[in-house]
Structure 1
Amino acid sequence: MQVLKKIKVVLGGDTDNDGVLDNIDICPKVAGPVENSGCPWKDTDNDGVADKFDECVDVAGTVANKGCPEVVVPTVEVQATLNAYAKTILFNSGKSSIKTESNKVLAEIVNILGEYPDAKFSIEGHTDSSGGDTLNQRLSDARANAVKAYLVKNGVDEFRLSAIGFGETRPIATNATSAGRADNRRVEINLVK
């Protein structure tokens, strides 16, 4: 042990005791691995995950999530509430314009989405089978985009939302009754996994 200390002193010492001699240690007063020339690995966001392993270098996260923040996602119950609200959004007949009586429920949706700032959602428009396939496809797409536009205008980050119309292709009830057709005319807001 004494011989090793003498050799270190003669060759330049190892002030930070990291195994890299001071004469080749780029950071002689701070311990770091030999692979990084005696300097600690850089950690830009100070989250404890070295930049070389950090998948989100500029945002603090967790070791378990590779340096990225944990994304809080809504529970199954919250997702069900979102869709219960979304199904009550009303549109003018045959149009994508949202009726003003839907503003209260849309405000509730904005609040719920605000509780999950990192989660992404798909806004899905659906129609009944009245009218032609092409018309229904366009209408469902326009309605999904109208809801997205409303949410963005009211503070939801547009990059968290996508909008798509499915026309009459995904009915949840029979189109043979007026009640069934009413159920099929809907908007859904689903978590993107």
Structure 2
Amino acid sequence: MRAQARRVSHEEEEESAFVSMTDMTVGFLFIIMILLAFFASQMRDSDTVSRSVFEKVLAERDIWRERAETRAERISQLEEQVSQLEKERDELKLQRDDLQEKLRLAHEKIDEQDAKIADLKAHIAELEQLIKKLKTQLSEKEQKIQELQKRLEELEAADPLEVYLAQVAQTRREVLVRLKDAIQLDFPTLQVELSEESDALRFQGEGLFASGRSAFTSDKRRIVEKLAQRLDQVLPCYTIGEKSKFNTTCNPGFVMIEAVQIEGHTDITGSDRRNRELSTNRANNTFFAMTNAAPTVMEHRNLKAQPVLSVAAYGPDRPVATNETPAGRATNRRIDLRFIMVTPQRLEGIETIRAALEGLSGDEQ
């Protein structure tokens, strides 16, 4: 734009100089014509010139006149060109001003973009620092994950003894649930619960005995007798002896029962001596009622060839609820039928149990 403007200015200067020279030439011709007219008016007959000179002067006049006309026409053309150029110059000036304004706005936008770029660069630097920090944390987490996975793999390499003991606990719970469902099917209103450790059936409150009593009423005796019959059906698969009916279908984990303990419990009402006698009498009465109803229950033996059915009495020593409320005391007055399983301490113990069960006559493996 600046080069174009300089070029237009230069052309304007050249046109101005040309117009001035043309004006001078016209003026000069005009003076010559006046002088010729003056000399013609002063000419006398004696002041004559030859025809050749006259014709020469006329020819020169015609030439200068033609030149003057040509220059006048040229001047007109140049004036039109000057006018057109001035118009174009004005348009170019407008375009120049418009472009300058656009250039200014563009520079402002560039400045704004530069500021934004600077902010973005600062933000990028912050993000890069954060990414670096997160990568470090991620690396630490991955290392920790690898360590935990290694520990998990070590733990998943199952210890056969732990696997067997888990199977023992699961089998005991399944047996207790089966007994509970069976006895409640026989006596729907009887209050029977599975202990928190899933190792005993709990006959709570007035379920078997009246408060302060150890003797059965006739209807309560029927419950105990039915419980003995149900137990006599379960024990053969998990014990040894003549009545054993072990097979891998009913006992795939080769689990054995060490003892089925009839436990008598009381609340804290009354003297300690009275409560211990009461819990003992209740356990014993339950034991005798069961063995009378199902004599063969005593033929189920543990690994030491001992009867699995046994008796224990704890008085008020092992409460399972508060003794501060009637409901809590009713819960503590109870009979627990606790299953104690054979839990070997070494792998050799598992093999001993397996051999004892597999060696039974009538094995159906």
Q: After superposition, what is the alpha-carbon deviation per residue over 1:14-43, rounded to whole angstroms, capped at 9, x for unaligned?
A: xxxxxxxxxxxxxxxxxxxxxxxxxxxxxx
Change (3 A) 1:116 1:86: same
How many Å separate the matches in 1 of 2:222 and 2:292? 15
**Correspondent of 2:318 among 141, 163, 170:** 170
Superposed, which structure 2 residues align to 1:34-45 within 5 Å? none
**Fraction of identical pairs, as percent:** 34
TM-score of the superposed pair, with normalisation by structure 1: 0.55
Mapped pair 1:79 → 2:176: yes
- Structure 2 residue identity aligned to 1:187: I
Mapped pair 1:113 → 2:210: no
- Structure 1 residue identity aligned to 2:265: H
Residue pair 1:86, 1:186 contacting (<8 A) in 2 also = yes
Find the counterpart in structure 2 of residue 93 from structure 1.
211
Find the counterpart in structure 2 of residue 15 from structure 1.
none
Superposed, which structure 2 residues align to 1:1-193 within 5 Å? 75-80=172-177, 81=180, 84=193, 86-87=202-203, 89-114=207-232, 115-117=234-236, 118=239, 119=257, 120-155=259-294, 156-157=297-298, 159-193=307-341
- Structure 2 residue identity aligned to 1:161: L
SS in structure 1 at match of 2:315: coil
Name the count of aligned residue pairs. Answer: 122
- Structure 2 residue identity aligned to 1:75: R
- Structure 1 residue identity aligned to 2:176: Q
Residue pair 1:74, 1:116 contacting (<8 A) in 2 also = no
How many Å separate the matches in 2 of 1:106 and 1:177? 28
- Structure 2 residue identity aligned to 1:87: F
How many Å separate the matches in 2 of 1:86 and 1:150? 17
- Structure 2 residue identity aligned to 1:157: M
How many Å separate the matches in 1 of 2:176 and 2:324? 29
Change (3 A) 1:143 1:74: farther
Residue pair 1:127, 1:167 contacting (<8 A) in 2 also = yes
Deviation of the 1:90 alpha carbon: 1.8
SS in structure 1 at match of 2:261: strand
Change (3 A) 1:75 1:192: closer
- Structure 2 residue identity aligned to 1:141: T
Query: What are structure 1's unaligned runs of at least 5 residues?
Result: 1-72
Query: What are structure 2's unaligned runs of at least 5 residues?
Result: 1-169, 184-191, 194-200, 240-256, 300-306, 342-365
Deviation of the 1:109 alpha carbon: 1.5
SS in structure 2 at match of 1:96: coil
SS in structure 2 at match of 1:134: helix
Residue pair 1:121, 1:192 contacting (<8 A) in 2 also = yes
Output the aligned Cα RMSD. 2.5
How many Å separate the matches in 2 of 1:187 and 1:79? 15
Residue pair 2:228, 2:290 contacting (<8 A) in 1 also = yes
Deviation larger for 169-178 or 155-164: 155-164
- Structure 2 residue identity aligned to 1:116: L
Q: After superposition, what is the alpha-carbon deviation per residue over 1:102-123, rounded to whole angstroms, capped at 9, x for unaligned?
A: 2343243213311213243110
SS in structure 2 at match of 1:192: strand
SS in structure 1 at match of 2:324: coil
Deviation of the 1:91 alpha carbon: 1.6
Structure with greater helix share of residues: 2
Larger Rg: 2
SS in structure 2 at match of 1:148: helix
SS in structure 2 at match of 1:113: helix
